[in-house]
């Protein structure tokens, strides 16, 4: 039943109920929507300081929520609206609300969720409120993070439309005007009230000045930051001296940053929860062990199915040893005599992939051939399941995104994960689940030994944290910070130039 699923996700290690901590006395579910959060607890408990920051955040969010008096005051003042009621001071003081608005990105769901969690951490650090400017393809996926409030930026106020668009400045262009040599600016005066900030793939050196302390001082005065990003930029916030002390207090355990942020922000909507719970109950719940295999192939010509499948088996059977070896021709006849023996251990394997080929092949392989364990004391039965097979990646498609979210969440409920290198889809699953995955190297015939497999098929991640794929370059010290010698931020296993927390 769905109730048993709720119990399963109440993890056994020091279960801490964040929602109860935040709202003492409100442990019964006022609405089904909030039951999910109440029911889920954490692999690693959040620090008291993080809890107190979240409690403050909730108050701030409610005070500043869309269409509230404070919201309107902040929005219209900053637009220089000269109606009498909006003619008060322009200086951002303590009572004013300031925001970071996450705008519609072009990338997939994994990228978006990682970037939203980074924006949320930035909002916590800078006393802002996170709002999201979703399109209709995203609005039905999640429950509201702050109960009885909304994080949806009102449609009528959209930035970039006819009325407001021209008044929004661009951070990178501003930096270009003010600062030509990229040296770490001590303090930058920024007078804009609305600022577009681009921290997404392909951003330039001027955009990257966002990561310098001096610029951050200047940004405090800007009430509206409109953020475009598809990156998990959290690791870089740890490299900024202005934020470090607070971050250390918030996250004594550096590998659980996304685990806490993600589980706070992303609760499935009722619709998503129905899909997750029904699948889980039917196919995964009763297994002794749940294994998630996330196979993300970016270029099917360069990474043909047969080769990727071989690599998956090298990883799962030989290196990670999470799937049993299959019987060889010789011992298969011998084991046939013993097949009536009762299976004592069930493994349920969830295959998440755009394509259905891996699921079909694996299922057939483990069904039609006996496992080498047949006849031994512990006989293992392996069942394969796939929730969705979308075949191609689509954008701006609500039902496609729903399937992606369901797959991510189901993966996060597994006990063991194999994820594909470079995939933010896998990062979100591992972070929500609190799992250190085996990272699969998807073979690519364009590189290395053609279709010969060599080297490691997969390796265990050093932490459950996602990777920041495209951080600013630190080697040339353009923004004045270095990763060298840091024991908190290291290079990612799957992306050489990327950074992750450990
Ligand atoms: P990344 O490209 O692997 O970093 O992950 P993203 O989530 O950012 O983008 C990939 C998109 O492709 C997803 O959001 C889905 O729309 C789709 N996709 C990729 N793999 C899967 C999968 O296993 N299941 C489903 N349902 N969709 C997938």
Segment 282-338, tens digit of pLDDT: 999 999 999 999 999 999 999 999 999 999 999 999 999 999 999 876 666 555 555
| ipTM reported for the complex, 2 dp | 0.99
**Cα 185 to averaged position of ligand 1 atoms, centre (Å):** 38
Q: Which of 67-81, 241-255, 323-337 has the lowest mean pLDDT?
A: 323-337
DSSP secondary structure of 421-454: TT-HHHHHHHHHHT--PEEE----TTSTTTT---
Burial of 294 (0-12, 13-18, 19+ CB in 10 A): buried
- Contact assessment for residue 232 and residue 259, using Cβ atoms and an 8 Å cutoff: no
Q: How far apart are CA 237 and CA 428, in angstroms?
A: 19
Q: Where is 72: in which H helix or E strand?
A: helix 69-78
Looking at residue 336, its pLDDT comes to: 56
Q: Which atom of ligand 1 is nearest to the CA of 395?
A: 16
**Cα 62 to averaged position of ligand 1 atoms, centre (Å):** 33
Q: Which atom of ligand 1 is nearest to the CA of 428?
A: 7
Coil, strand or helix at 38: helix
All CATH 3.40.50.11350 domain ranges in the chain, comma separated: 287-466
Q: Which of 311-320, 336-345, 474-483 has the lowest mean pLDDT?
A: 474-483
Q: Are strands 345-352 and 458-460 parallel, antiparallel or unpaired?
A: unpaired
Looking at residue 293, its pLDDT comes to: 98
Taking residues 174-178, what's their average pLDDT?
Answer: 84
**Cα 298 to averaged position of ligand 1 atoms, centre (Å):** 10
Which 8-state DSSP code applies to residue 142? B
pLDDT exceeds cutoff 90 at 132: yes
**Cα 159 to averaged position of ligand 1 atoms, centre (Å):** 28
For a pocket test of ligand 1, which of 231, 352, 393 has the largest count of ligand atoms closer than 8 A to its C-beta? 393
**Residues framing ligand 1 (Cβ under 6 A):** 107-111, 296, 352-354, 388, 390, 393, 400, 403-404, 407, 423-425
Coil, strand or helix at 501: strand
Q: Which atom of ligand 1 is nearest to the CA of 110?
A: 7
DSSP secondary structure of 381-427: EEEEE-S----S--SS-HHHHHHHHHHHHHHHTSSEEEEETT-HHHH
Looking at residue 392, its pLDDT comes to: 84
Q: How confident is the model at residue 156 (pLDDT cuts 50, 70, 90)?
A: confident
pLDDT exceeds cutoff 80 at 161: no
**Cα 117 to averaged position of ligand 1 atoms, centre (Å):** 18
Q: How far apart are CA 205 and CA 379, in angstroms?
A: 58
Instruction: Compare 369 and 55 and report the one with higher pLDDT.
Output: 55
Looking at residue 78, its pLDDT comes to: 61
Q: Whose CA is nearest to atom 13 of ligand 1?
A: 108
pLDDT exceeds cutoff 80 at 496: yes
Q: How confident is the model at residue 419 (pLDDT cuts 50, 70, 90)?
A: very high
CATH code: domain 287-466 is 3.40.50.11350
pLDDT exceeds cutoff 80 at 95: no
- Contact assessment for residue 427 and residue 405, using Cβ atoms and an 8 Å cutoff: no
Mean pLDDT over the full length of the chain: 83
Q: Whose CA is nearest to atom 25 of ligand 1?
A: 404
**Cα 26 to averaged position of ligand 1 atoms, centre (Å):** 36
**Cα 407 to averaged position of ligand 1 atoms, centre (Å):** 9
**Cα 108 to averaged position of ligand 1 atoms, centre (Å):** 6
Give the 3-state secondary structure percentages of the chain, helix then strand then coil, rounded to 5.
Answer: 40, 15, 50
Taking residues 83-97, what's their average pLDDT?
Answer: 52
Per-residue 3-state assignment (H helix, E strand, C coil) for 96-133: CCCEEEEECCCCCHHHHHHHHHHHHHHHHHCCCEEEEE
Q: How far apart are CA 113 and CA 267, in angstroms?
A: 12
Burial of 376 (0-12, 13-18, 19+ CB in 10 A): middle
Q: How far apart are CA 199 and CA 197, in angstroms?
A: 6
Q: Which atom of ligand 1 is nearest to the CA of 296?
A: 20
For a pocket test of ligand 1, which of 113, 354, 427 has the largest count of ligand atoms closer than 8 A to its C-beta? 354
Q: Is the dihedral of CA 155, 156, 157, 161 positive or negative?
A: positive
Taking residues 193-206, what's their average pLDDT?
Answer: 90
Residue 387: count of CB within 10 angstroms of its CB? 21
Question: Structure pTM?
Answer: 0.88
């Amino acid at each position: 039943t769905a109730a048993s699923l709720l119990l399963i996700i109440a993890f056994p290690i020091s279960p801490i109920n964040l929602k109860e901590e935040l709202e003492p006395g409100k442990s019964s579910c006022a609405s089904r929507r909030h039951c999910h959060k109440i029911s889920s607890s954490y692999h690693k408990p959040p620090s008291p300081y993080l809890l107190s920051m979240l409690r403050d955040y909730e108050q701030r969010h409610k005070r500043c929520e869309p269409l509230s008096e404070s919201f309107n005051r902040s929005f219209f003042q900053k637009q220089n609206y000269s109606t009498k009621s909006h003619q008060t001071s322009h200086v951002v003081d303590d009572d004013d609300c300031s925001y970071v608005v996450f705008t519609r990105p072009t990338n997939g769901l994994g990228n978006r969720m990682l970037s939203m969690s980074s924006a949320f951490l930035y909002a916590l650090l800078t006393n802002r409120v996170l709002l999201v400017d979703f399109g209709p393809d995203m609005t039905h996926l999640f429950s509201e993070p702050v109960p009885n409030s909304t994080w949806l930026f009102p449609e009528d106020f959209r930035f970039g439309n006819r009325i407001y668009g021209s008044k929004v400045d661009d951070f990178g262009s501003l930096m270009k005007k003010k600062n030509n040599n990229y040296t770490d600016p001590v303090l930058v005066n920024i007078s804009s009230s609305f600022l577009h900030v681009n921290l997404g793939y392909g951003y330039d050196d001027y955009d990257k000045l966002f990561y310098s302390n001096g610029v951050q001082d200047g940004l405090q005065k800007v009430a509206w930051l409109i953020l475009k990003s598809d990156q998990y930029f959290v690791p870089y916030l740890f490299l900024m001296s202005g934020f470090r002390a607070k971050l250390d207090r918030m996250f004594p355990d550096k590998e659980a940053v996304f685990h806490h942020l993600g589980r706070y922000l992303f609760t499935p909507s009722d619709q998503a929860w129905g899909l997750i719970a029904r699948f889980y109950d039917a196919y995964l719940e009763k297994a002794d062990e749940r294994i998630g295999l996330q196979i993300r192939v970016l270029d099917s010509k360069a990474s043909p199915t047969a080769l990727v499948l071989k690599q998956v088996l090298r990883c799962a059977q030989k290196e990670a040893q999470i799937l049993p070896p299959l019987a060889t021709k010789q011992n298969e006849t011998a084991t046939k005599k013993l097949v009536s023996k009762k299976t004592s251990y069930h493994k349920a394997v969830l295959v998440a992939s755009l394509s259905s080929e891996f699921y079909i092949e694996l299922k057939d392989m483990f069904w039609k051939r006996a496992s080498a364990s047949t006849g031994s004391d512990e006989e293992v039965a392996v069942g394969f399941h796939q929730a969705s097979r979308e075949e191609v990646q689509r954008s701006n498609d609500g039902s496609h995104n729903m399937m992606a979210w369901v797959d991510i969440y189901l993966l996060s409920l597994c006990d063991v994960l194999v994820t594909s290198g470079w995939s933010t889809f896998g990062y979100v699953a591992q972070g929500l689940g609190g799992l250190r995955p085996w990272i699969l190297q998807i073979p690519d015939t364009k590189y290395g030994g053609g279709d010969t497999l060599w080297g490691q098929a997969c390796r265990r991640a050093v932490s459950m944290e996602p990777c920041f794929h495209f951080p600013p370059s630190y080697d040339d010290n353009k923004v004045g910070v270095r990763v060298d010698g840091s024991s908190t931020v290291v290079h990612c296993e799957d992306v050489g130039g990327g950074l992750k927390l450990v």
